[in-house]
Amino acid sequence: MRILLKLIAAPFVLALTLMVAVLNFSISLASWMLGILSLIAAVCGVFDLFRGDTAQGLYCLVVAFVVSPFGLPAVAEWLIDRLDDLNYSLKSFITG
Distance CA 54, CA 72 (A): 24
What per-residue confidence (pLDDT) applies to 53? 85
SS3 content of the chain, % helix, strand, coil (to 5): 90, 0, 10
Q: Residues 17, 87: contact at Cβ < 8 Å?
A: yes
pLDDT for the residue 14: 95
Question: Would you state the pLDDT for residue 96?
Answer: 80
Q: How far apart are CA 86 and CA 69, in angstroms?
A: 24
Going residue by residue through the chain, which has 96 residues, state the pLDDT in tens, using 9 for 90 and above: 888 988 999 999 999 999 999 999 999 999 999 999 999 999 999 999 999 989 999 999 999 999 998 899 999 999 999 999 999 999 999 998
- Decide if 45 contacts 58 (C-beta within 8 A): yes
